[in-house]
A and B are shown apart, each in its own frame.
Chain A
Amino acid sequence: MLSSPLNVCLTLIAVWVGIGAAGLLRPLNVVFAGRALFLLGAVCGLALALVAACSLSAAPELVVLPIGLPDLPFHMRLDGLSRLFLFLLGASACGVSVFAAGYFRSGQGTAPGLLCLQYHLFLASMALVLLANDAYAFMVAWEMMALSSYFLVTTQHRIAEIRAAGFLYLLIAHVGAIAILLAFGVLQGGSWQFTFDAMRTAHLSPPWAATAFLLALFGFGAKAGLVPLHVWLPEAHPAAPSPVSALMSGVMLKTAIYGMLRITFDLLGHPVWWWGLLPLGIGLFTAVFGVVFAAAQTDMKRLLAYSSIENLGILFTGIGLTIVFTGTGMGALATLSLISVLYHALNHAFMKSLLFLGTGAVLHATGERNLGRLGGLIHRMPWVAWLTLIGALAIAGLPPLNGFVSEWLLLQAFLFAHEVPKPFINMLLPMGAALLVLAAALAGYVMVKFFGVIFLGQPREANLRAAKDAGLLERLGLLWLAVGCVLLGLLPAQIVPLLNLVTRQFALGGELATGSGWWRLAPVPDRQNGYAPLVFLLTLAVVVVLTVVAVRLLYHHRMRRAAAWDGGFARLDARMQDTAEGFGQPIRHIFTPFFALQRELPTPFDRAPRYRVVITDRIWSAVYPPIARLVQSAADVSARLQQGRIATYLLYSFLTLVVLLALVI
C-alpha cells in the first residue's frame, strides 16, 4: 500500500533526508548543494502539502515502523490535525526552499553541503513530530528538530554572539523538552505504555491530568516563546540565516501549537475549564509584551522575532479560550475559537515566512540589518518591497488579507465569552478582547515602522543606492508566500469548513454551523455576523478604479516632479527622517514600565554629542540571572565534595556502604 497518504508522507520525509545526505557528496559546490538540492526539496515540500491537503477529510491511518530500539518501534499516525500542520509545513517549506536556493552563497560559515543536510533534516524532523504516535518517536523527532535547528542557527559560528545565541536557544529548548518528557510520563497513567493510543484510553485523576497539562504548557510554551520563556527568540532569529529564521518562526513555532493541541484535546481529551485561564492570561500578556517590544526594536530581524512572540501569544489565547468554552459545555464556540487558532497558525506561517525572507533579501542586497541604516529601498528593490508590503499589511491584521480573518474569528469567539456560566470569569473574559485588540492595533504600528523605515523615505546610507533587487528564485519564493497570504485572506468561506473537519476529531461538544453561501463567512448564522472578503475587495476595487478613471478623465493627468516641499525647507537630507528609534519613541514613552531603559543624552555643551538608548528586557534581568546564580552556587556546593584526593573518595564509598548496610539491616 504505497499509495496511502501516510506512506507517501513517510516516503517524502525519507526523500528529504536523502536530499540532505546527498549534499555531503559535493559539500563545497554551491550550484549542486545550495541550489539544485534545495529546489528538489521544494518540490518535495509541495508534494507533501498536496498529499496532506487532498486527504484532509480521510480517516486516521496508522503504521508501525520497525526502526529505533528493538522493543520500541516508531508508531506513526496521520489524522486531520497532522494533515493540517503537514500542509502548513509543506506549503511554507516550498516557498522558503525556493528562496533558499537563490540565497545561500559560499564562503559564509558552514559549507553549503552541510547546511543542506541540516536544513533538510530540520524539515524531516518537523514532519516526524507531526506524525509521531508514541512518546518515544515524538521525543526523538523533537530533539532532532532542536539539534538540527541549533546547527542552522549557528551557521555563522565564527561570531561569538551567534554562538551565545545558539547556546541560549539550545538550553531553553532542552528545559522545555524535559517538561514535555515529564508530561508524557504523567500521561501514561501507570500503564507504562508510551503509545499515544494508550494515553488516549488512560484515566488520569484530576490532579495528575492538571499536572500533565501544566507540564505540557511549560514545555511547549518554551518552544513557542511564551513570556517568560521568550528570551531565546530575539537572540536566535537574528543569528540564523533568513530562510532558517523563516522556517523557525513560520513552522517550528507551530509545532509547539500542534503539541499543545495534541496533548490537551486529544491525549487528555476532556480539559477542565479553568485550565484554559492560564494559557489565556499568559497568551494575552505575551501578545501585548511581544508587540510593545517589537515596536521598540532597531534590528529588523529582532523586530520580527518579537512580532512572532506576539502572534504565538494570540495563538495561546485562542487555545485558552477553546479550553474554557469546551470545559463549560459551549461546544460550538469552542469549535469556533479552535478554528481561529488553526487559521491563525496557517496565516502566521505564510506571513512571517514572507517577512523573514523579505529581510533576507534586504540583508543580501545591503549587508545591513540595522533599521537605522536602511531606507528608500522601494526604488531599488521593487519586487521585494511590494511583496513584503503584502506580508506587512497581512500581519497588521488589515482586511482583506489573511491576518484579519483569523483575528476576526477570534474576536467573534470572544464576543460570546460573557455567556460562560461562571461568575466573575464571564466579566473578566471580555476584557481579554480589549487586550487582544490593543495588540492587534499595535501590530499595525510595528508594521508601518518596519516597512516604512526599510523601504520608504530616502536611503540613509550612500551604499543603499547601489542595492539590487532579489534574483529570480528569491522572487519566486516570496511570490509563493505572498499569493498564499492573499488566497487565505480571500477564501475564508472555503477554508473554514475544511478546518471544521479537522476540529471534528476532538470531542469539543458542539458543531459549528458553517457559512451561508460560498462567498460569505458566517460562523454564527442566526446573528448575521458575516464577512465576505471577495465582495469587500470587489467593492473597494470598483470604487478605486472609478475614482482613478473619474479624476483622470474628467480633469487632466498633468504631473511634474520637483524637489520635496517639506514646508519650504531647502536643505532636506536623509538624517532628518525619523530613525527606527524615533519611530519607537511614543511606544517607549507610553509603555515605560515594560522597559529597562539606559539612556545617554547629550548636554548642550558636549563637544561630541552622543545619543544612545539601550532597551533591555526587565524579565530577563528578573528571572534569568537569579536562576543562573542559583545553579552556580549549587554547583559550588557540590564542588566541595570533589576534593581530587583518592582518600576522600574512598571515604565517600565507605560511608555510602555503611549507610546502605544500616538501611538494609
Chain B
Amino acid sequence: MIELDWLTQILEVLAALTAAPMFLGWITKVRAWLQNRSAPSLWQPYRTLRKLLVKDVVIAENASALFRLAPYVVFGTMVTAAALIPSMGTRLPISNAADAIALVGLLATARVFMSLAAMDVGTAFGTLGARREMMVGFLTEPALLIVIFLASMIAASTALPTIAEHLATQSLGLYPSLAFSGIAFTMVVLAENARLPIDNPATHLELTMIHEAMVLEYSARHLALMEWAAALKLLNYACIGFALFLPWGVATGSGPLSLLAAMPILAVKLTVAGVALAFIETLSAKLRIMRAPEFLAAAFLFSVLGLLVHLLLGA
C-alpha cells in the first residue's frame, strides 16, 4: 500500500500547512475569552497572511542575500519537519530519512537561520532578539533531546513513528517517567514558540520581546513566510507532543479507514491542546528575561529527572 503511505504523507503536510494558522487563531480566541475580551475571528491569521503576501516588500538598504534567503529556509525547514512528524499516520515514507534527533537538528537549523537573518541588518533590536533566541534555544534543545531520548529508550528506537506506534499499542501505556518529561516538554513548547511566560506574542517593542524583535525588519511576503513558519512551528511542537505523550488514535495500519479516523482525532487533540496552552498563558505572568534561564534550567532538570526515574524504576 505504498500509494496510500504517500497519500498520508502529502495529506499530513497539507493539513499542517492549512491548519497551522487556524491553531494559532484558536489559541488567540480562547485567550481572549478567558480574559473577557471580544475574540478575533478564527480566520484572522489567514487574512493577515493574505494581506502580507500582496504587499510590496521593503527591505533595509544593507540587507544581504542571507536576509532574503532566510524566510524561505525557515519556512522550508518547518514544512519538512511537519513531514517527519507522525501526526495522523505512522507510515510516512519521508520520515525514514530522519529520526527524532535529526528533527531536533532541523528545528535548530531554522533557529540559527532566523537569528543570523536578525543580525544581518545590524539593528539594536535584531541583534538583541537573535541573542535572546539563541539563549532560549541552547537551553531548550538539551531538554527536548533528553525528553526524546527517554521516549527512545522506552520504544528502543529514535524514529518518531516507531516511538508513537510503540507507545500507542502498549497495553499499559502509562509511564511515570513520561509524566516528568511531559512537564519538561510543555515548558520547552512555551519557550520555543515565544509564548508566555518567556515571550509575549501579543506585544511589540517591549524590552522583553524575543521573536518579534527578530522579525522586525521583515515585511510583506518575507514576513508572511516567517509568521506562517512560526505557526507551523507551534503546530509541529504540538504534534511532537502528541506523538510522545498522547499517541492514541494515530493510524498505525495502512488502511484508509484508520487514516480517516485519525483526522478528527487530531483535530480534537489540537482543540484541547489549544485550550490548555491558552490556560497556561492566561495564568502565568511574563518572566524577566534574565529569569528565563531558571525556568529553562527547570525544564532541563525535569527532563533529566524523567530519565533518572526511568532508569531507576524501569518504567
Contact = CB atoms under 8 A, between A and B. Distances in A.
A516 to B, nearest CB: 9
Contact of B156 (A393, A445, A527, A574): A527
A412 B128 CA distance: 35
A433 B146 contact: yes
Given A398-B109, A551-B225, A567-B216, A539 B97 contact: yes
Interface of B: 53-54, 56-64, 66, 72-73, 75-77, 79-80, 83, 94, 96-99, 101-102, 105-106, 108-109, 111-112, 115-116, 119-128, 130-132, 134-135, 137-139, 141-142, 145-146, 149, 152-153, 156-159, 162, 205, 216-217, 221, 224-225, 290, 293, 300, 303-304, 307-308, 311-312
Contact of B116 (A448, A527, A531, A551): A448
Please report whether the interface of chain A is mostly helix, strand, loop or mixed according to DSSP. Answer: helix
Interface stretch (A75-83, A581-589, A639-647): A581-589
A566 B124 contact: yes
A528 B141 CA distance: 23
A559 B61 CA distance: 11
B272 to A, nearest CB: 29
A586 B72 contact: no
Interface residues of A, number: 83
28 contacts: A378-B64, A378-B66, A399-B102, A415-B149, A426-B311, A430-B307, A444-B111, A444-B134, A444-B137, A444-B141, A445-B134, A445-B135, A451-B116, A456-B64, A530-B97, A531-B99, A532-B97, A536-B80, A547-B72, A547-B79, A552-B221, A562-B61, A563-B61, A564-B60, A577-B122, A578-B130, A582-B131, A585-B131
Interface string A553-572: 00111111111111101001
Contacts, number: 258
Given A441-B141, A529-B157, A398 B122 contact: no
Contact of B123 (A412, A449, A520, A566): A566
A567 B101 contact: no
A404 B312 CA distance: 31
- For B53, B64, B77, the residue with the greatest tally of chain A CB atoms inside 10 Å of its CB is B64
Contacts of A447: 112
B131 A583 contact: yes
Contacts of A415: 149, 152-153, 158
A548 B134 CA distance: 27
Contact of A411 (B101, B120, B121, B303): B101
A581 to B, nearest CB: 11
A39 to B, nearest CB: 32
Interface in A491-539: 520, 527-533, 535-536, 539
B222 to A, nearest CB: 9
Contact of B62 (A452, A531, A564): A564
A418 interface: yes
A543 B158 contact: no
Contacts of B303: 434
A552 B98 CA distance: 30
Interface in A355-406: 375-376, 378-379, 389, 393, 396-399, 404
A427 B312 contact: yes
Contacts of B307: 430-431, 434
Given A440-B141, A457-B121, 13 more contacts: A399-B105, A434-B307, A445-B135, A531-B97, A536-B98, A547-B79, A555-B54, A560-B58, A562-B58, A567-B216, A574-B122, A578-B127, A590-B135
Please report whether the interface of chain B is mostly helix, strand, loop or mixed according to DSSP. Answer: helix
Contact of B57 (A541, A558, A566, A572): A558
Contact of A448 (B96, B115, B124, B304): B115
Contacts of A539: 80, 83, 94, 97
B53 to A, nearest CB: 5
Given A456-B64, A531-B98, A448 B123 contact: no
Contacts of B94: 535, 539
- For A378, A431, A543, the residue with the greatest tally of chain B CB atoms inside 10 Å of its CB is A543
B138 A452 contact: no
